[in-house]
């Protein structure tokens, strides 16, 4: 698999660490609702199709990336920085 | 038709003309008491035990392809019950006991071979963890032995004891562990279930689960709607997709695990051996091929194939463990889709929807569980309540925190 | 023995270079340019191996990598390679080969008896028998089956050769060096594109070397050699011979195996045997050719029965004669060419049998004049002979059966495109009835298929397809391909009428030769319900031999289709899995074996530890100093105990460089730390250190360590050694993934700093001697948990932390990695008169157990902060990762297993980690399992064995007694449950 890192260019997936569903994992609830945290930590849509997922360029620029990949074919259609999502967002 | 010495001799003499189909190819009935979705090992075993243990025979197994086309025919054939945590130890030991009588029970030779499973350790900390595990096994009545480096050398002198990056310090041995002919397990259960009246519907894909007044009442399939009193899902790899048809989200990700077989060679390795300093396990089939594998690729996948970095990682570990296999050749590699659960343990439970039952989350350990999984799932469906053996495999354990996390890896499926 | 042999002239062999080799101990000779198979034929050998199940005598079927029969053990000793296809082995001087899967000899094999009882051993018979009595399977039946099965023998010793891995990038990867591939590569290369051409053969040209077809009026092999020479001379082309592209992976990644030195006896010094390539190709052109199908009739496996194309290869390329009296059996025009070429080489043609009544009278050309018996609408129903072909039985169009004497039979069932690589990413080939054959279906992205691999069976079409694909790829890169005219070649399409199975002959008709799967087996499987092609394969083992069904799959599923009365297109085909041909395990591992299996990380203080005689152990990727033996000490325990006493009574120095170190800066650094640790860091004063515990989001403990604040916006975190990489990744995730708005930056500084602990009552006195005068480290000026940047030894940068793992007055000193060894040496020298000693991991482990500090055995991913007695650290005033789910009912239950100390009642009794805790008097069952021993040590300070453990109820069990039961090692020891802090429970020693 080849991932086009926006910072480093196209690299083999050997250089990356994969964590999972980007939309699920970055949607950390605030507050103390245990059910919301249960959903956040454990429940996954687990799509057969276009999947936005987190990859970390551990042997590269150390950026977390959101890779849009088809889980049926492994074809990658988009790669962006994970942090872009929250750029400008208040801490 | 019963397989016996006499039937084999008789058919041998008359050119096999009398052998009859191992299972029928029936047309779907409009209604069954129970429909099992998934004609793999677990689904077929469930149907078999529903019929045999609970006398429920108005049962259909619905399979989108051919029976055994999923992980029961793609795994590395290992059976073992060397688990650490309470629910697992007893469940997998029950599975082992079922394996031990399986072939006579379903009258099909699945080549269950208790040749021993040896887990190597390479550090004091790993030894301590294996001692903890081995003692947990013994407390549960499971056989386990701790073996030192000399003991390992006596069993497997071909391993690298001289030049290893991570020297072998010893191993945890379960002699009753071993291998079984994976496809034959599916076929044996299919034949046994069919002979008791279960309809096995191949090439019948479930496209929807019909819910009326909060209760699951049937499945839409490529061969029409089939009404069902109860529906059991046993379609690991695709559990999330099928459960989604009933509006359920599961604590599961689908991942690809690769497996490998070498060209056939004369017998060289008796046991199943797992490497403790890398992801690698190996055994030899009765045909002579070395059967081996390693870690999952790590990314979500429904593609039944993997990539080179894991292929190379597995072969590196193989050479590190056993440097004489360098000139043997890998013949074929393939992938299967695993239901990776959030704590590495399975779910056999009622679902939040009446009439719908779940059997999923087997990670890469489903094959050895096949008999007990079918047995417990049949019980759960027939009695509408889990058996004590699967009482821990609850869907709500993630909310309650009653996790069964053997590795302590946490809620990250690709670490289990 | 047949009278086959070498033709007096011709062939692409070098008769000036004779080569000596041996087969089954017999010395033989061949020429450079031979394969082992052609050389065996030249030496009159027709019996080469035995089949898998029935141990039937087998010869040579093919002339390529599809060979199912002629498998041999190559080389000897540690270099022995079982199952090597004689048809792919390039002959070299000193080559040793022997036959396999036979006993006692190739000519007389006891297990050939299996063939006589074949009726009982049909497909699936294993599944129906060997079940009585149950205990006999492992003891009797299975060992017999295992011994009979398998093929060759593996080497018994470590592979002495080396393997390399390389990566290559190109615009166009051309797979296959036949006419289509050469033309494609040439066209793309002339446009300036970066081209790699990989061909599995040692001689480029593919079938051009095996046929007498002409291109531009000259022999096709000459055209191939000319093109190969031009390609070799181009700087933008890499022509890779002896290289098999064996797999296609995601992202246009192609895996290839280059057999660098398989054509010599032993690789030259410093050269690999083989090299595995990962080729990243923007476009690929698959020109892999086609495989000829055998015909399925009784005894079609007899040595001497050969594919017609292989017969032509042996005659035209290798100048050897597979027999003196040849017959041809074909269902396509192509087969006739074997008779024509053989006749031209002076071989007697006994008969040509074409199953097609309508076969063109023009076929055979001059053959008719030679008085060759020609049958149309006829079939060979049976081969006669056992260890070699003696005759064939022919059923003519009228149904009359006659016998024809011959010692070789060329057969052709038509050709199947080699679509394997098109399927590796899941593409299914589609049935083309007119060929008839499967042709590529959905292709991997960037791939095109040309030539015979795409079903273009005529030479001119192959060349045109190659040129077009090459030009198209060039245009994709904005390059213009010249419109050089196509070379002129034959454009006759050969016609085929499928013939899948000839019935009526007595004897097994083999579909899969190596695995001994017969047409009858296919029928049986179908009757028994194994009707999917995949079930057929799995039940009969069709296509699962070392050739992966290259010669058998299509015949097998066509016979299945006929049994089921369904079209082949409906029955479908199994999916080809990589590798295309088997790949040595050594090549896939490369250099990662032995000590080089994984990188070895050495601490910046490694030399210092070595100087002091450290014993190193593997600890993850690291080698760490475990203890420092002194003369006269009998074991590690004696050394480590002495080291502990030195630290507790004077001073010791140990290496803690392997801890993860993360530098965190920015105005929001404190906020980030508050969110990742369960305790608070934003309130930490500048110049202070604090112990922190991190949870996973699921509420279990992830890691622990101290973090120090060097400035308002500057923290330095330490992590455990094992989690150094993971925590760095986790922090980056928290920042980039969860809270990108936080103004914070971090970087790993684990490798920038050497870090050592100086511990013991005399540690301050020791340190004071190297710390520069302006830095006051007195207790008043530098109290417990102080962290400051200082200088030592006259200006060397350092960071000094007053923290203690040992429980003594202690410091950790970090210095730039490059000066680590020198600083450690300076401290040792400074402390000599104070009794300083180096101490290792074992001593550190003993002291942390004495102090009840948790480590990896307790932070095992299954414990919560409360379990470990750290519940008070969980802040109630802020949000942090893991806070909410740590309060789930099961994580807060009072009967959870909590950390305690354990003391054997008899203090001299050794206890061991991994023992389980069982109530006194209770049965040893899971139900009575209260917990387990996590860590143990012999405490030199207390002079007794002590342990840490997790017990149901935790601290509430203090003062009770339990048994430490180790069933594996046979011990059952009574112990008292106590507070985990055994030594200096009030913590007085680290102050002062």
List, in order of start, the domains of chain C with CATH numbers: 5-114 (3.10.20.440), 163-290+418-476 (3.50.50.60), 292-414 (3.50.50.60), 499-571 (1.10.10.1100), 601-658+752-847 (3.30.1360.120), 666-747 (3.30.70.1400), 894-992 (2.40.30.110)
Taking residues B77-88, what's their average pLDDT?
97
d(CA C442, CA C449): 11
Is the ipTM value over 0.90, yes or no?
A: yes
Give the nearest partner residue to B22 out of C528, C700, C914, using CB atoms.
Answer: C528
Q: Closest approach of chain B CAs to the CA of C524, in angstroms? A: 7
Q: Please tell me whether residue B331 adopts helix, strand or coil conformation.
A: strand
Confirm if C615 and C602 have CB atoms less than 8 A apart. no
Torsion of CA B118, B122, B123, B126, to 10 degrees: -30
Confirm if C952 and C931 have CB atoms less than 8 A apart. yes
What ranges in B207-325 are assigned the alpha helix state H?
239-244, 308-321
d(CA B368, CA B99): 9
Q: How many CB atoms lie within 10 A of CB C373?
A: 16
d(CA C2, CA C487): 41
Give the nearest partner residue to C740 out of A40, A41, A86, using CB atoms.
Answer: A86
Strands C688-695 and C701-711: antiparallel
Q: How many CB atoms lie within 10 A of CB B214?
A: 9
- Identify the residue among A3, A13, A34, A83 best suited for mutation to test binding to C, counting C beta carbons within 10 A and taking the highest: A83
Q: Residue C278: pLDDT above 60?
A: yes
- Identify the residue among B188, B323, B333, B335 best suited for mutation to test binding to C, counting C beta carbons within 10 A and taking the highest: B323
Q: pLDDT tier at B19 (50, 70, 90 boundaries)?
A: very high
Taking residues B200-217, what's their average pLDDT?
98
Q: pLDDT tier at C245 (50, 70, 90 boundaries)?
A: very high
Query: What is the distance, to the nearest Å, from the Cα of residue C661 to the centroid of all Cα atoms in its chain?
Result: 34
| Contact criterion met (CB < 8 Å) for B400 and C889 | yes
Taking residues C196-202, what's their average pLDDT?
98
Give the sign of the dihedral formed by CA C643, CA C648, CA C649, CA C651.
positive
What confidence score (pLDDT) does residue B410 get?
97
What confidence score (pLDDT) does residue A90 get?
39
- The Cα diameter of chain C in Å comes to 117
Topology alike, domains B26-77+182-251+343-415 and B114-176+253-341: no
Distances (CA, A) of C284 to A3, C257, C280, C430: 19, 17, 10, 20
Chain C residue with Cα closest to B146 = C968
Give the model confidence (pLDDT) of C960-989 as tens digits. 999 999 999 999 999 999 999 999 999 999
Confirm if B85 and B346 have CB atoms less than 8 A apart. no
Residue position matching structure tokens 């799967």: C517
Could you tell me which chains touch chain A, where touching means 3 or more CB pairs under 8 A? B, C
Nearest alpha-carbon partner for C675 in C719, C745, C731: C731
Which has the minimum average pLDDT: C143-157, C373-387, C570-584, C730-744? C143-157
Taking residues A55-82, what's their average pLDDT?
97
**Which chain B residues are Cβ-neighbours of A1 within 8 angstroms?**
299, 307
Average confidence score pLDDT of chain C: 96
Q: Which of residues 250-269 of B touch A (CB under 8 A)?
A: 250-254
Give the nearest partner residue to A43 out of B241, B249, B302, using CB atoms.
Answer: B249
Taking residues B192-200, what's their average pLDDT?
98
Query: For residue C77, is it left (φ>0), alpha (ψ between -120 and 50) or beta?
Result: left
| Contact criterion met (CB < 8 Å) for A20 and B300 | yes
Q: pLDDT tier at C2 (50, 70, 90 boundaries)?
A: very low
**Residues 6 or more apart in contact with residue C399 via CB below 8 angstroms:** none
Rg (alpha carbons) of chain C, rounded to whole number: 38
Interface B–C counts its CB contacts (< 8 A) at 359
Which has the minimum average pLDDT: C1-5, C565-569, C718-722? C1-5
Q: pLDDT tier at C613 (50, 70, 90 boundaries)?
A: very high
**Which chain B residues are Cβ-neighbours of A18 within 8 angstroms?**
298-299, 414
Q: pLDDT tier at C89 (50, 70, 90 boundaries)?
A: very high
| Contact criterion met (CB < 8 Å) for A2 and C740 | no
3-state secondary structure C746-762: EEECCCCEEEEEEECCC
Nearest alpha-carbon partner for A39 in C73, C505, C679, B399: B399
Sorted by where each begins, the domain ranges of chain B are 26-77+182-251+343-415, 114-176+253-341
Nearest alpha-carbon partner for B339 in B323, B354, B355, B360: B360
Nearest alpha-carbon partner for C934 in C840, C862, C841: C862
| Contact criterion met (CB < 8 Å) for A1 and C251 | yes
| Contact criterion met (CB < 8 Å) for B328 and C82 | yes
Q: pLDDT tier at A85 (50, 70, 90 boundaries)?
A: low
Nearest alpha-carbon partner for C816 in C728, C755, C747, C746: C755
Taking residues C168-179, what's their average pLDDT?
98
d(CA C990, CA C644): 15
What confidence score (pLDDT) does residue A86 get?
47
Strands (E), C628-765: 652-655, 660-665, 688-695, 701-711, 714-719, 745-748, 753-759
Give the model confidence (pLDDT) of C780-822 as tens digits. 999 999 999 999 999 999 999 999 999 999 999 999 999 999 9
Give the nearest partner residue to B268 out of C154, C702, C915, using CB atoms.
Answer: C154
The rounded percent of chain B whose pLDDT value lies above 90 is: 96
Average confidence score pLDDT of chain B: 97
Q: Which two tokens stand for residue C443?
A: 């292709």
Give the model confidence (pLDDT) of C659-705 as tens digits. 999 999 999 999 999 999 999 999 999 999 999 999 999 999 999 99
Q: Does A71 touch chain C (CB under 8 A)?
A: no
Confirm if C412 and C496 have CB atoms less than 8 A apart. no
Note if the bond before C579 is cis, omega within 30 degrees.
yes
Model-level pTM greater than 0.90?
A: yes
Q: pLDDT tier at B16 (50, 70, 90 boundaries)?
A: confident
Give the model confidence (pLDDT) of C702-744 as tens digits. 999 999 999 999 999 999 999 999 999 999 999 999 999 999 9
Higher-pLDDT residue of A84, C91: C91
Residue position matching structure tokens 């008085």: C371
Distances (CA, A) of A63 to C144, C492, C629, C898: 57, 59, 45, 38
The rounded percent of chain C whose pLDDT value lies above 90 is: 91
What confidence score (pLDDT) does residue C286 get?
98
Query: What is the distance, to the nearest Å, from the Cα of residue C208 to the centroid of all Cα atoms in its chain?
Result: 35
Chain C residue with Cα closest to A81 = C736
What confidence score (pLDDT) does residue A91 get?
37
**Which chain C residues are Cβ-neighbours of A28 within 8 angstroms?**
697, 738
Taking residues C274-285, what's their average pLDDT?
98
Residue position matching structure tokens 């999984």: B373
**Which chain C residues are Cβ-neighbours of B320 within 8 angstroms?**
589, 592-594, 597-598
| Contact criterion met (CB < 8 Å) for A91 and C743 | yes
Please count the CA atoms within 13 angstroms of the CA of C545 that sit on its side-chain side.
Answer: 30
- Identify the residue among C700, C737, C875, C885 best suited for mutation to test binding to A, counting A beta carbons within 10 A and taking the highest: C737
Confirm if C257 and C243 have CB atoms less than 8 A apart. yes
Nearest alpha-carbon partner for C549 in C523, C517, C585, C583: C517
Chain B residue with Cα closest to A37 = B399
Distances (CA, A) of C916 to B93, B134, B223, C912, C933: 19, 10, 55, 10, 6
**Which chain A residues are Cβ-neighbours of B337 within 8 angstroms?**
none
Q: Residue A88: pLDDT above 60?
A: no
Query: What is the distance, to the nearest Å, from the Cα of residue C321 to the centroid of all Cα atoms in its chain?
Result: 41
Q: How many CB atoms lie within 10 A of CB B70?
A: 27
d(CA C357, CA C703): 80
Q: Please tell me whether residue C602 adopts helix, strand or coil conformation.
A: strand
Q: Residue A36: pLDDT above 80?
A: yes
Helix axes of C533-540 and C519-527: crossing angle, nearest 10 degrees: 120
Give the nearest partner residue to A41 out of C251, C697, C743, using CB atoms.
Answer: C697
Query: What is the distance, to the nearest Å, from the Cα of residue B58 to the centroid of all Cα atoms in its chain?
Result: 26
Give the sign of the dihedral formed by CA C186, CA C187, CA C193, CA C195.
negative
Higher-pLDDT residue of C992, B233: B233
Q: pLDDT tier at C862 (50, 70, 90 boundaries)?
A: very high
Distances (CA, A) of C805 to C820, C841, C949: 20, 12, 19
Chain A residue with Cα closest to C281 = A2
What confidence score (pLDDT) does residue A39 get?
97
Helix axes of C553-564 and C533-540: crossing angle, nearest 10 degrees: 120
CATH topology of domain B26-77+182-251+343-415: FAD/NAD(P)-binding domain (3.50.50)
Confirm if B266 and B305 have CB atoms less than 8 A apart. no
Give the nearest partner residue to B307 out of A13, A20, A73, using CB atoms.
Answer: A13
Q: Closest approach of chain A CAs to the CA of C181, in angstroms? A: 26
What confidence score (pLDDT) does residue A89 get?
41
What confidence score (pLDDT) does residue C4 get?
53
Q: Does B401 touch chain A (CB under 8 A)?
A: no
The rounded percent of chain A whose pLDDT value lies above 70 is: 92
Note if the bond before C133 is cis, omega within 30 degrees.
yes
- Identify the residue among A12, A21, A27, A42 best suited for mutation to test binding to B, counting B beta carbons within 10 A and taking the highest: A42
Higher-pLDDT residue of C907, B291: B291
Chain A residue with Cα closest to B297 = A18
List, in order of start, the domains of chain A with CATH numbers: 2-86 (3.30.2270.10)
CATH topology of domain B114-176+253-341: D-Amino Acid Oxidase; Chain A, domain 2 (3.30.9)
Q: Which two tokens stand for residue C797?
A: 């940068």
Backbone angles phi, psi at C509, to 5 degrees: -105, 110
Q: Which two tokens stand for residue B204?
A: 């019948």
What confidence score (pLDDT) does residue C133 get?
85
Q: Does B412 touch chain A (CB under 8 A)?
A: yes
Q: Bridge-partner residues for B224, per DSSP?
A: B221
Q: pLDDT tier at C1 (50, 70, 90 boundaries)?
A: very low
Taking residues C491-512, what's their average pLDDT?
93
Task: Please measure the distance between the N-terminal and C-terminal CA atoms of chain B and give it in whole angstroms.
Answer: 43
Q: Residue C147: pLDDT above 90?
A: no
A23 exposure class (CB count in 10 Å sphere: 0-12, 13-18, 19+): middle
């Amino acid at each position: 698999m080849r991932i086009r890192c926006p910072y480093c260019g196209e690299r083999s997936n050997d250089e990356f660490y994969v964590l999972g569903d980007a939309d699920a994992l970055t949607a950390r609830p605030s507050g103390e609702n245990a059910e919301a945290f249960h959903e956040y930590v454990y429940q996954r849509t687990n799509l057969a199709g276009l999947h936005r997922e987190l990859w970390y360029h551990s042997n590269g620029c150390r950026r977390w990336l959101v890779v849009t990949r088809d889980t049926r074919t492994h074809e990658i259609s988009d790669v962006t920085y994970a942090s872009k999502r929250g750029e400008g967002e208040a801490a | 038709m019963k397989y016996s010495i006499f039937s084999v001799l008789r058919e041998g003499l008359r050119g096999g003309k009398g052998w009859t189909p191992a299972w029928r190819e029936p047309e779907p009935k409009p209604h069954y008491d129970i429909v099992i979705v998934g004609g793999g090992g677990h689904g077929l075993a469930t149907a078999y035990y529903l019929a045999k243990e609970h006398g429920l025979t108005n049962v259909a197994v619905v399979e989108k392809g051919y029976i055994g086309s999923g992980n029961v025919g793609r795994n590395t054939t290992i059976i073992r019950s060397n688990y650490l945590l309470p629910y697992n130890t007893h469940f997998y030991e029950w599975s082992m006991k079922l394996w031990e009588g399986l072939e006579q029970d379903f009258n099909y030779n699945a080549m269950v071979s208790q040749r021993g499973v040896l887990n190597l350790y390479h550090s004091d900390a790993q030894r301590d963890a294996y001692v903890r595990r081995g003692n947990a096994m013994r407390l549960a009545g499971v056989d386990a032995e701790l073996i030192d480096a000399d003991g390992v050398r006596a069993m497997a002198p071909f391993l690298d004891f001289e030049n290893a990056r991570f020297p072998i310090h010893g191993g945890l041995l379960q002699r009753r562990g071993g291998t079984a002919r994976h496809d034959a397990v599916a076929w044996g259960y299919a034949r046994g279930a069919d002979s008791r009246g279960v309809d096995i519907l191949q090439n019948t894909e479930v496209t929807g689960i019909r819910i009326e007044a909060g209760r699951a009442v049937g499945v839409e399939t490529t061969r029409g709607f089939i009404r069902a009193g109860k529906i059991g899902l046993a379609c690991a790899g695709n559990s999330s997709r099928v459960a989604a048809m009933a509006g359920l989200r599961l604590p599961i990700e689908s991942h690809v695990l690769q497996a490998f077989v070498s060209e056939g060679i004369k017998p060289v390795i008796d046991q199943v051996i797992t490497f403790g300093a890398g992801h690698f396990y190996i055994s030899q089939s009765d045909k002579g091929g070395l059967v081996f594998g390693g870690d999952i690729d790590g990314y979500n996948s429904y593609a039944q194939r993997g990539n080179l970095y894991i292929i190379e990682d597995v072969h590196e570990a193989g050479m590190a463990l056993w440097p004489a296999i360098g000139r043997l050749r890998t013949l074929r590699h393939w992938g299967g889709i695993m239901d990776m659960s959030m704590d590495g343990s399975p779910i056999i439970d009622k679902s939040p929807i009446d009439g719908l039952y779940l059997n999923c989350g087997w990670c890469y350990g489903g094959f050895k569980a096949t008999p007990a999984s079918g047995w417990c799932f049949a019980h759960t469906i027939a009695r509408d309540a889990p058996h004590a053996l699967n009482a821990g495999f609850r869907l709500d354990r993630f909310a309650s925190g009653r996790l069964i996390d053997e590795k302590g890896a946490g809620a990250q499926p690709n670490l289990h | 023995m047949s009278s086959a042999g070498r033709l007096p002239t011709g062939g692409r062999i070098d008769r000036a270079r004779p080569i000596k080799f041996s087969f089954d101990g017999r010395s033989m000779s061949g020429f450079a340019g031979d394969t082992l198979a052609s050389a065996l034929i030249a030496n009159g050998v027709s019996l080469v191996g035995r089949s898998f199940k029935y141990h039937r005598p087998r010869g040579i079927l093919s002339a390529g990598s599809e060979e199912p029969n002629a498998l041999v053990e190559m080389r000897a000793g540690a270099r022995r390679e079982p199952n090597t296809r004689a048809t792919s082995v390039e002959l070299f001087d000193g080559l040793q080969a022997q036959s396999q899967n036979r006993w006692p000899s190739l000519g007389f094999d006891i297990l050939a008896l299996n063939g006589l009882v074949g009726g009982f051993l049909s497909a699936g018979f294993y599944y129906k028998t060997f079940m009585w009595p149950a205990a006999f399977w492992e003891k009797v039946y299975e060992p017999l089956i295992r011994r009979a099965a398998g093929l060759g023998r593996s080497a018994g010793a470590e592979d002495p050769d080396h393997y390399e891995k390389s990566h290559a990038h190109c615009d166009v990867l051309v797979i296959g060096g036949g006419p289509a591939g050469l033309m494609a590569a040439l066209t793309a290369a002339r446009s300036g594109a970066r081209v790699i051409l990989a061909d599995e053969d040692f001689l480029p040209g593919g079938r051009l070397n095996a046929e007498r077809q002409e291109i531009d009026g000259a022999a096709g092999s000459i055209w191939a050699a000319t093109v190969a020479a031009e390609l070799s001379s181009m700087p933008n082309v890499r022509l890779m011979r002896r290289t098999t592209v064996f797999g296609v992976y995601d992202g246009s990644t192609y895996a290839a195996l280059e057999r660098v030195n398989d054509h010599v006896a032993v690789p030259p010094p410093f050269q690999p045997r083989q090299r595995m390539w990962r080729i990243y190709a923007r476009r690929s052109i698959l020109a892999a050719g086609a495989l000829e199908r055998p015909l399925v009739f009784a005894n079609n496996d007899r040595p001497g029965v050969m594919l017609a194309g292989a017969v032509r290869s042996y005659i035209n390329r290798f100048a050897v004669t597979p027999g003196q009296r040849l017959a041809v059996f074909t269902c396509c025009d192509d087969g006739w060419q074997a008779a024509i070429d053989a006749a031209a080489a002076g071989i007697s043609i006994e008969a040509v049998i074409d199953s097609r009544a309508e076969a063109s009278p023009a076929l055979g050309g001059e053959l008719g004049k030679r008085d060759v018996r020609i049958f149309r609408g006829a079939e060979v129903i049976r081969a006669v002979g056992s260890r070699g072909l003696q005759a064939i039985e022919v059923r003519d169009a009228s149904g009359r059966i006659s016998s024809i004497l011959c010692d070789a039979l060329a057969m052709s069932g038509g050709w199947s495109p080699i679509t394997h690589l098109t399927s590796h990413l899941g593409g299914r080939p589609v049935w083309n009835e007119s060929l008839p054959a499967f042709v590529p279906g959905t292709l991997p992205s960037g791939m095109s298929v040309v030539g015979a691999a795409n079903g273009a069976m005529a030479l001119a079409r192959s060349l045109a397809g190659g040129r077009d694909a090459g030009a198209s790829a060039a245009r994709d890169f904005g390059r213009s391909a010249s419109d050089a005219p196509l070379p002129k070649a034959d454009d006759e399409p050969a016609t085929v009428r499928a013939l899948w199975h000839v019935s009526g002959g007595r004897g097994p008709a083999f579909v899969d030769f190596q695995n001994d799967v017969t047409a009858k087996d296919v029928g049986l499987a179908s009757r028994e319900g194994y009707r999917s092609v995949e079930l057929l394969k799995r039940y009969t083992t069709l296509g699962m031999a070392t050739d992966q069904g290259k010669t058998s799959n299509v015949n097998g599923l066509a016979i299945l289709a006929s049994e089921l009365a369904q079209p082949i297109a409906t029955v479908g085909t199994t999916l080809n899995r990589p590798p295309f041909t088997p790949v040595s395990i050594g090549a896939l591992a490369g250099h990662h074996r032995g000590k080089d299996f994984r990188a070895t990380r050495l601490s910046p203080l490694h030399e210092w530890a070595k100087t002091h005689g450290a014993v190193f152990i593997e600890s993850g990727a690291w080698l760490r100093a475990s203890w420092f033996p002194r003369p006269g000490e009998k074991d590690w325990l004696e050394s480590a105990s002495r080291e502990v006493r030195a630290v507790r009574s004077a001073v010791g120095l140990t290496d803690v460089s392997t801890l993860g170190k993360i530098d965190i800066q920015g105005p929001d650094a404190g906020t980030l730390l508050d969110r990742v640790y369960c305790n608070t860091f934003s309130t930490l004063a500048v110049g202070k250190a604090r112990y922190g515990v991190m949870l996973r989001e699921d509420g279990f403990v992830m890691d622990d360590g101290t973090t120090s604040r060097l400035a308002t916006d500057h923290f330095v975190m330490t992590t455990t050694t094992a989690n150094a990489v993971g925590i760095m990744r986790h922090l980056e995730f928290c920042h980039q993934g969860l809270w990108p708005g936080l103004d914070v930056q971090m970087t790993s500084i684990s490798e920038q700093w050497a870090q050592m602990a100086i511990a013991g009552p005399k540690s301050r006195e020791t340190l004071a001697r190297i710390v520069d005068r302006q830095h006051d480290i007195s207790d008043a000026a530098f109290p417990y948990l102080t962290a400051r940047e200082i200088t030592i030894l006259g200006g060397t940068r350092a960071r000094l932390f007053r923290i203690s793992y040992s429980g003594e007055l202690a410091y950790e000193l970090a210095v730039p990695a490059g000066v680590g060894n020198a600083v450690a040496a300076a401290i040792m020298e400074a402390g000599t008169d104070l009794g300083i000693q180096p101490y290792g991991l074992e001593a550190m482990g003993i002291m942390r157990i004495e102090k009840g500090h948790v480590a990896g055995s307790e932070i095992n991913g299954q414990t919560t902060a409360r379990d470990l007695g750290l519940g008070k650290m969980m802040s109630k005033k802020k949000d942090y990762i893991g806070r909410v789910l740590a309060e789930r009912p099961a994580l807060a239950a009072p009967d959870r297993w909590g950390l305690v100390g354990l003391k054997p009642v008899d203090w001299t009794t050794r206890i061991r980690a991994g023992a389980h805790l069982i109530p006194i008097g209770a049965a040893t069952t899971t139900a009575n399992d209260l917990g387990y021993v996590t860590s143990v040590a012999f405490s030199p300070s207390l002079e007794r064995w002590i342990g840490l453990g997790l017990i149901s109820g935790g601290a509430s069990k203090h003062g009770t007694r339990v048994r430490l039961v180790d069933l594996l090692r046979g011990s059952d020891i009574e112990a008292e449950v106590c507070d985990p802090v055994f030594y200096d429970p009030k913590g007085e020693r680290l102050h002062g």
